[in-house]
Amino acid sequence: GENVEQHPSTLSVQEGDSAVIKCTYSDSASNYFPWYKQELGKRPQLIIDIRSNVGEKKDQRIAVTLNKTAKHFSLHITETQPEDSAVYFCAASSGGGADGLTFGKGTHLIIQP
């Protein structure tokens, strides 16, 4: 089955700086890579996703890059704000997401004022 590794487990950045979270996956058949944000006591919420036919996708301050050859994808958050503090999970799926997702272990992002 799929295995997703995520680093770092904790990331502390100054407000206004950029944050980068990296993930690798094992199944070359995986074709869908979402990122979820989970605030304490709340449900995971999709913030951005990318499919294997695309190398990069941006949505305002958030971007995701995908390197299929290296089986590696990354989340980039620019101009970080206090409300970005949360746990971020990367995930991968081989069925376009319909077969369920395998999540990475999560990154606790802390934005220092």
Partner 1 sequence: DTEVTQTPKHLVMGMTNKKSLKCEQHMGHRAMYWYKQKAKKPPELMFVYSYEKLSINESVPSRFSPECPNSSLLNLHLHALQPEDSALYLCASSHGQDTGELFFGEGSRLTVL
Q: Which of 43, 60 has the CB closer to partner 1?
A: 43
The radius of gyration of the chain from alpha carbons, rounded to an integer in Å, stands at 13
Tell me, residue by residue from 42 to 81, as one string, x for binding to partner 1 by CB under 8 A and - for no binding: xxxxx--x-x------------------------------
Pinpoint the alpha helices (H) of 1-113: none
Residues 6+ apart with CB under 8 A from 60: none
* Separation of alpha carbons 107 and 105, rounded Å: 7
Q: How many CB atoms lie within 10 A of CB 50?
A: 20
- Residue 8 interacts with partner 1 (CB under 8 A): yes or no: no
- Residue 27 interacts with partner 1 (CB under 8 A): yes or no: no
Exactly one of 30, 89, 109, 111 binds partner 1 (CB under 8 A); that residue is: 89
Pair of tokens at residue 46: 């999709």
Tell me how far, at minimum, the Cβ of 89 lies from partner 1, in Å.
Answer: 5
Contact status, residue 85 vs residue 110, Cβ threshold 8 Å: yes
Exactly one of 53, 70, 98, 113 binds partner 1 (CB under 8 A); that residue is: 98
Q: Can you give the binding site for partner 1, defined by CB under 8 A?
A: 32, 34, 42-46, 49, 51, 89, 93, 95-106
